[in-house]
Amino acid sequence: MTKLSNVGSIGVAIERVKEQLIPKIKALCPRPSAVPRPAPVVAAPRTRAATTGFDVVAIGSSTGGPSALREVLAALPSSFPLPSSFPLPIVVTQHMPPLFTKQLADRLHDGCAISVREAATGDQLAPGLALIAPGDRHLVFDRKANGVTAKLSDAPAENFCRPSVDTMLRSVHATFGGRVLTVMLTVMLTGMGADGCKETGLLRDAGGYVIAQDEESSVVWGMPGAVVHAGFSDVVVPLEGVARAIVDRVATAGSRPARPRPAVSV
């Protein structure tokens, strides 16, 4: 370092110190802009099975879900270009406490051309029928000789939720494989939830198709946002476009009766 005795003034000494030390400090301590930042979330190429038809539509929703479900389910029969009634069964997990899900199902039934009811153990999945998971019960499924039936589960909460979208989708995956059209409508009350995201990715890899509601039309963009950021969504649409997206995809891929498979219980 330059000695002060060799410098004509304190000001010159300070300048010499700056000239010699600052470059060394900079070399040892990179500027914040040089620190690597996390890369933006980009969907990596994923291997997925080919989809030739769907057996079921699975819907997960939370905050804002009741009104979103009303808009989507009410639009399905009237806008579908193939049969007059919607050709697939629909299963729904909406985060709500007990009693409220029964009231929701009744209101939706009155306002939709399809049938809507709160699920009960033994209910058979059928085209044009939407089953909604009861509050505080998981909705899972059994495959029997005569078709697929609903079953209610008191298993522990998943993602702090019962009913849980992930629990329902995992059972859908075990029962139907990839032949599922997964629709994420809206989000958790806190806006921090990702219920449904993990299993949505597995369903998509198995050949499922994923529709996510966009951020602008969501009350809170938690659940659909998690699906989008994870790279699991096939299409992101506003709420008013969800029913149309379902219709278009089912019309393109077609629907088909479930093929006989070994009975499963999840």
Complete domains list, the chain, with CATH: 8-34 (no CATH), 56-253 (3.40.50.180)
Which range among 6-20, 58-72, 83-97, 187-201 has the greatest average pLDDT? 58-72
| pLDDT computed for residue 213 by the predictor | 93
Cα separations in angstroms, 121 against 62, 162, 168 = 23, 16, 14
Per the DSSP assignment, residues forming a β-bridge with 211 are 183, 235
Mean pLDDT (the chain, rounded): 79
How would you write the chain as a 3-class SS string?
Answer: CCCHHHCCCHHHHHHHHHHHHHHHHHHHCCCHHHCCCCCCCCCCCCCCCCCCCECEEEEEECECHHHHHHHHHHHHHHHCCCCCCCCCCEEEEECCCCCHHHHHHHHHHHHCCCEEEECCCCCECCCCEEEECCCCCEEEEEEECCEEEEEEECCCCECCECCCHHHHHHHHHHHHCCCEEEEECCECCCCCCCCCHHHHHHHHHCCCEEEEECCCCCCCCCHHHHHHHCCCCCEEECHHHHHHHHHHHHHHHCECCCCCCCCCEC
Q: Is the pLDDT of residue 266 over 60?
A: no
Handedness of CA 132, 134, 140, 142 (dihedral sign): negative
User: Percent of the chain at pLDDT above 90?
Assistant: 56
Instruction: Give dist(CA 170, CA 28) in Å, integer.
Output: 51
Which phi and psi angles does 96 have, rounded to 5°? Answer: -150, 155
| pLDDT computed for residue 10 by the predictor | 57
Which phi and psi angles does 193 have, rounded to 5°? Answer: -80, 155
Q: Is the pLDDT of residue 133 over 70?
A: yes
48 Cα distance to chain centroid: 17
Cβ distance 184 to 224 under 8 Å? yes
Cβ distance 186 to 68 under 8 Å? yes
Active-site residue set: 62, 95, 195
Cβ distance 65 to 95 under 8 Å? yes
Amino acid letter, residue 85: S
Instruction: Give dist(CA 145, CA 43) in Å, integer.
Output: 39
pLDDT in tens, 188-211: 333 458 999 999 999 998 889 999
User: Percent of the chain at pLDDT above 70?
Assistant: 69
Instruction: Give dist(CA 164, CA 146) in Å, integer.
Output: 27
Higher pLDDT, 256 or 265: 256
- Report the pLDDT averaged over residues 56-73: 93
Cβ distance 51 to 89 under 8 Å? no
b/e 247-265 (16+ beta carbons within 10 angstroms → b) = bebbeebebeebeeeeeee
**Based on C-alpha coordinates, what's the Rg of the chain?**
27
